[in-house]
Structure 1
């Protein structure tokens, strides 16, 4: 073992040959492997739930590459916890196989139709649920959904595959599995139900009604900061003697999972390993999405415009840190509803500590990614709620102006910003138009809804965008913090 790390790598504390699958999980990214898979690994180590092992699955081309990497190491995942007091590594063995990734998802559908599969879970990113940002509802006109609606027996999407498997189970008299989203969405169970039932309605309305009546979609809140894997993370794995793993995962020590207890087909006893089961998931979820995810957006774009690479470096910058503090304390925390047994100020203090962890080395660029999907979920609802209480949230509107300025594709130093959004071409075009006509940015109703019709919001946004162009990010932040 490399001398850099003398602590042994923890191996699964159970006989993996005794595991049998009870869960199919779609989307084997870093977050799932550092979160749900770790909770199950802990439960299995207690000698419990061995019939709840995971079958990995995916519906995109990159999932096939992940399958190849994980199958080569017996589906073990390397998880490195980045505690500032010292890194630790473990091998997580909760997944026992990875289903072949196919264009028509035939193998995935067959696996989900097996009676021993009682939960199908997903991490397909916030943008993977076919939600119209302007309405907040499922979009049945999306090309992917239309294609699956026309060809339900050979679906290309995760939701089409889930629906095809449910159809097979219904025909065979097998009880439906529970569908559990592990993505960072408000009401993620409701959103998933809308996607599955909405897709069914395109080809089989009776099946849609059956889904709504018989399939459970529990809401849940998930949390763990998990950076993307690159050379730094692979070097860490090598330092632990695991250099042969091309897909190690690094993560912060903190993790949280809050779930509705709505699993008619049964579930693992996850409460024994720290999962909170509660009917008040929405309260936890609102707290996390507004304070943590919103906080990420607040520090992302000034950091990107100031050429700051890492999140902990942004937190060490007094202007970015001060901007975060002022917006959180004045505009976000006051509108977050009470959460059971939780002090919101203490929660925000914990968030600051997590953002400031230098070992995580999360990047500003990752936080800036996919603003077109994240802003409508993490920032714009807070703007709307402030307006409803008679407050013009200048800090959140400044965050929107910073995002617009970032999407122009050039930082304050003149450095080029590489494309960083699935809709980058459109965003860049509208951002450049907004330099002369700021209302054009807020006129993206699929992102901002009707905010562009509020003259106070438009005037505030226009003033900040002009000021950012004329004086730069640092001067604008300094003035905002000074009041």
Structure 2
């Protein structure tokens, strides 16, 4: 059998010079930002914007070793139902050593040719407290504040590099978050400036006045890498321990705030706009909210894969009704975008069997995701005078999932950083539903809304009594 062809960089990688340090070389970055740059380089442009990779966790050393062994090339396999496509992405030219104190990372970011520092450190990696402020009690943040010259966090290292640039008369770099956070640039600014204020108020004011933190919306489904993904790379004749698989779809929307310059990423498909928040709201409510809507009934029904959940008529009917009646109507307009058409694309993406995304992954970290993806839509519906029973049911399904068993009685393995607390609270909520809504870090003032509390209590009781399947059937018929 003929080995399928692999697309290789069409440009001379030896001519690339660095312009970006990227912290957090996970699958998403390598299938997203790195791919956009790879395509720009293939156009013969932006060759002074190559990536230097970096990490601040001991586990990042394994990724560095794997990528260094293959000249920093990443295998990216697009999982199109019509046929898989593999490419080797060459946008990264180095990966800094992982070390205590981050001296190499600080030194690299202090160099004048580095004009952008970008980040994918996960949604939970920004040290934010439930009120949306920097958690100054966090041990890592406190340690960096006490030892700013030998920081252990990405943000401490960024501040050390900015301080060095300031002292040497080098303009600051732009800090660009590529994490899936509402207002990711604004959040990053809060963290960086907030940390600086703990040990150097003058530096904090200088950063606040001089450093740009553009907001951006990012989107591409990239499953975790395991034996399945390594076997796919082998099908293309590649012995790669860290290949990335991803759906064909990708999107990147950015504010054009790069005073130190930027690559011409619009030529590779990036949308630069002042309306990032509109795109972001659309994605968070329709896509991320949609993931949560299918995840918990799927988990309670013992469904393993997302595409299998989309093959369950009750789940897709639940999703369709909820999106069309309770989510899309409260999403603000987005430039040049039909929201119904956008949802149709999302539905198709969820149904892609090649991605093999898991229901368990979608259920992960609900305590961090629900207040971003579901609760805002509940609040907006209430502000419009509507009682969103479907969204409330979706939250009740999350509560039931966190009780730690599926409808069949199978155990649910811990699936949240606060799993033990959530499980105890979910079991308490079986007899006292207000115990669940009392989580202010998730629900805010929702517990003060008597109609929501009543609807949640009824939904949770029904889920416990009848199971997810029967409750979805009743909702769909209503």
- Matching residue within 251, 257, 268 for 1:273: 268
The one-character-per-residue Cα deviations of 1:355-399 (angstroms, maximum 9, x if unpaired) are 011111111111111111111111111111111111111111111
- Matching residue within 385, 390, 401 for 1:395: 390
2:405 counterpart residue number: 410
1:384 counterpart residue number: 379
Q: How many angstroms does 1:140 deviate by?
A: 2.5
- Matching residue within 426, 430, 434 for 2:425: 430
What is the alpha-carbon root mean square deviation over aligned residues? 1.1
Aligned pairs for 1:337-376 (under 5 A) are 337-376=332-371
Give the distance between the partners of 1:443 and 1:42, measured in 2 at CA. 48
The one-character-per-residue Cα deviations of 1:384-419 (angstroms, maximum 9, x if unpaired) are 111111111111111111111111111111111111
Give the distance between the partners of 1:341 and 1:419, measured in 2 at CA. 42
Is it true that 1:234 corresponds to 2:212 in the alignment? no
Aligned residues between the structures: 478
TM-score when normalising by structure 1:
0.97
Is it true that 1:110 corresponds to 2:115 in the alignment? no
The one-character-per-residue Cα deviations of 1:109-135 (angstroms, maximum 9, x if unpaired) are 1111111110000011111112223x2
Give the distance between the partners of 1:482 and 1:445, measured in 2 at CA. 32
Is it true that 1:480 corresponds to 2:478 in the alignment? no
Give the distance between the partners of 1:450 and 1:145, measured in 2 at CA. 29
1:127 counterpart residue number: 124
Give the distance between the partners of 2:167 and 2:295, measured in 1 at CA. 49
Q: How many angstroms does 1:292 deviate by?
A: 0.5
Q: How many angstroms does 1:68 deviate by?
A: 1.2
2:90 counterpart residue number: 93
Q: Is the partner of 1:83 in helix, strand or coil?
A: coil
Is it true that 1:21 corresponds to 2:18 in the alignment? yes
- Matching residue within 176, 183, 193 for 2:179: 183
1:311 counterpart residue number: 306
Aligned pairs for 1:295-334 (under 5 A) are 295-334=290-329
- Matching residue within 138, 141, 145 for 1:145: 141
Q: List runs of 5+ in structure 2 lacking aligned partners.
A: none
Q: Is the partner of 2:223 in helix, strand or coil?
A: coil
The one-character-per-residue Cα deviations of 1:261-314 (angstroms, maximum 9, x if unpaired) are 100000001011111111111111110111001101111111111111111110
Tell whether the 8 Å contact from 2:429 to 2:435 is kept in structure 1 after alignment. Answer: yes
Give the distance between the partners of 1:347 and 1:482, measured in 2 at CA. 25
Q: How many angstroms does 1:143 deviate by?
A: 2.6
2:34 counterpart residue number: 37
Is it true that 1:208 corresponds to 2:191 in the alignment? no
1:166 counterpart residue number: 162
Q: List runs of 5+ in structure 1 lacking aligned partners.
A: none
Q: Which region of structure 1 is more displaced relative to structure 2, 382-391 or 37-46?
A: 382-391
Is it true that 1:61 corresponds to 2:58 in the alignment? yes
1:455 counterpart residue number: 450
Give the distance between the partners of 1:343 and 1:140, measured in 2 at CA. 42
Give the distance between the partners of 1:294 and 1:401, measured in 2 at CA. 14
Tell whether the 8 Å contact from 2:392 to 2:452 is kept in structure 1 after alignment. Answer: yes
Q: How many angstroms does 1:211 deviate by?
A: 0.7
After superposing on structure 2, the runs of 4+ consecutive aligned residues of structure 1 that deviate more than 3 Å are none
Q: Is the partner of 2:7 in helix, strand or coil?
A: coil
Q: Is the partner of 1:132 in helix, strand or coil?
A: coil
Give the distance between the partners of 2:360 and 2:243, measured in 1 at CA. 20
Q: How many angstroms does 1:327 deviate by?
A: 1.0
